[in-house]
Structure 1
Amino acid sequence: MKKVLIISPYFAPVNAADMQRVRMSLPYFADLGWDAEVVTVDERYTDVSKDELLSQTVPDNIKLHKLKPLDKKWTARIGLGSIAIRSLWFYKRTVDRLIKDGNYQLIYFSTTQFPVCILGHYWYKKFGVPYIIDMQDPWHSDYYLNKPKSERPPKYWFAYRLNKFMEPIAMKSVAGLISVSPNYITTLRERYPHLNDIPAATIPFGAFAPDTQLASENNDRFPELLSKDHINLVYIGRGGADMHKAIAPLFRHLQTRDISADKLKVYFIGTSYAPAGQGRPSILPLADQYGLSDNVIELTDRISYYHALITLQQADALFVPGSDDVKYSASKIYPYILTGKPLLAISNAKSPGYQILAEFVVDHNLGYDDRDVDNKISTFIDGLLAGNLSKPKYHTEAIQKYSAASMTQLQCELFNELLKTRRV
């Protein structure tokens, strides 16, 4: 059995999107010939919300190595709240010990807390253990460089320069790349030509069916967020100005229809990454422009993973807007598909998310620049208001192709290819 050491600063029960690939893959690694261990930050030292149900899906035999980082109450005084920066030294010390005591064939960084990835270069030089980086998001990116300050992430000036400095260090000795979007790999290979000589694979997040069952069994643990007196169209996930192009066609149609707020509510839930109570609405301002402030409800506070799944199950229909960034690939689409609810998706037609939904044969998978986007939205909304939207029938091959088990197999195939390449 080969051994892989997985670096994931956030892990169950922490309710962070970037640990979901690891969590959903752990049940399948052993059957594919890999003994996986996870090094994470003790959840007591994170300020991200927790969902204890997440831990129930982690196999009991998985070793979790938890480390204690610098306390944020001290580092925040100098503006350093990042879990990656706070845990960097402690990752070095902990993994140094593990590598000396264990026999790991591979180190696997699967996180968007990218600064920890620079340790891969150090561990490779010191111990000779190759490493893979999972690019769930872009690391160093120019996307926001020409955006107004109001549309940039917090502390963008510092983050941009830190990422520009750190990314080359991590890429210097990386032995393999995984990415949710082929565009991320293309960008990295253009930036660092030596990456053209290493194995790489585009592997989206997978659909993890056990989550749906676990959510159904625990639906009384969370408060209901949706109105029982209205027809509810629901989106759960981050917001932002980059999604306005995808949301605008829906709002434009609703404005034209002048649908009573007593009949239809459109929910946008968990749109901000800010701490609870501190999020700034990013969708309501757009709704106000279309005169839809009574129809649209934006709840900026993020809710736990299983609370989100339960809320999706309680909706009458679901809405998935995409980013105007063609490279963006939303991991959220699989929980939407697993609910079996009618789904309206609007995105950049060249994006990975659009292509994946096309494989599932989603009836209302629209590009925001499509000539007939308004007519297709009209058909969807007509069916929603009349209560006669049919239950989706997704392509069975796509369901199997994008299952968490299949996505884990692709990861392990890359692991094996990397080791084979290095032995040649």
Structure 2
Amino acid sequence: MIAEPHKLSVSEASAFFASGRLSSVQLVTACLAEIERTDGTIKAWAYLDPEGALAQAAECDRIRQAGMAIGPLHGIPVGLKDIIDTRDMPTQRGTPIFAGRETAHDARLVELLRGAGAVIMGKTVTTELAFVHANETRNPHNTDHSPGGSSSGSAAAVAAYHVPLAIGTQTNGSVIRPASFCGTFGFKPTRGVISRTGLLQTSISLDQVGVFARTLGDAALLTDVIGGYDGHDTLSFARPRPAMAAGAAADAPVSPDLAWFDIPFNDRLTADAREGLEAVVEILGPQVTRMTAADTLSNLVAVQGRIHEYEICQHQAEVFDAHWDRISETLKPVVARGRQITQTEYEDALAVKASAEAFFANFFVDYDAIIAPSATGEAPVFGTGTGDPIFCTLWTLAGLPCVSLPLLVGETGLPIGVQLIGPAEKDDRLLRTAAWVQTQLAEAAE
């Protein structure tokens, strides 16, 4: 038996499976034991199915022993944000309004996970309707702090060694920010890479799927598995996806050209985050070009908010109307504000969004990636919110691929991520650049 199998990466666990030194049942059992040991405090899981997970694992072991075909995630445990539909467990969307909600079908990405041999462990906690109001999950590094949101449980579950992989979503900063706070890798690929069919819709224009892992390669592999064209998703594009895992494993042929934007809201960075990022930029040296951002980039923050608030009021109108008394006091003013946005204002915001996409397509002709904060600093104290998403807003609006690397530690010992943003549909190049950055920093630390 391998010591502490729940701490293995996907590649390590898969190698042990192949050698016969570890079974999927043993791995899932170890993960369940760790959940039992710590989740009473961390509260990462909205729904856990131990018997179902062990049954899936046993079937994976049987298939392997029979010499049948296996998938890239064969026998690997995965957690799903509790807005992702599954046919065999409830999807409760972070609100008592949907307590016990069941569906007859899997989300498209769940079908792909099952086809790849993944073991679906259960549902991880999300904020209310995947928006602003926090739920009960705590940061595994210090339970007095938030894990971020809205993919709170997914980030916490990976950081706490409950599962090696988890899936979240991002409409503003809901993958990159919690990855930063919890010290995991967080990757949100180009908008349209991963199908959203079977997920709670809060913004048809902005909702995107992302992943959490403890290595860059694992995040890339999971994205490869769940990416693909889906004609039922209006933003899914009918062409091949970048090869994520190959990109993460590749060596950069030349040193990448990176950009750092001096944006007015950089003043929201805490001192330790600013110092850490400055040190990273200094190590990368001449590969980073510093530039002052145009005011129009800062103005995009309001554009994202207008689209998000308008669309959630449209998509969830029936929920808000029928269950207003069960909506949190945190969300109610957002809904009230969203209902004041006119159709003309909304359409104008969509036009600006399209302009932002065109701007970045042109910008990345000269640069491989933008380097930026993942969050303003360490995770906030629990009960004070899930953190400011400001350093994710622009890139999410433009649908760009983003990755948070767990590189820094704040003054109280909590993780702080460094974000890299790449050109649309060149996610493999972004991941290759991320691997290069990791190597450069590791060599500088030696």
Regarding TM over 0.5, the answer is: no
Name the TM-score, length of structure 1 as normaliser. 0.24
Name the TM-score, length of structure 2 as normaliser. 0.23
Structure with larger RCO (C-alpha < 8 A, sep 6+) = 2
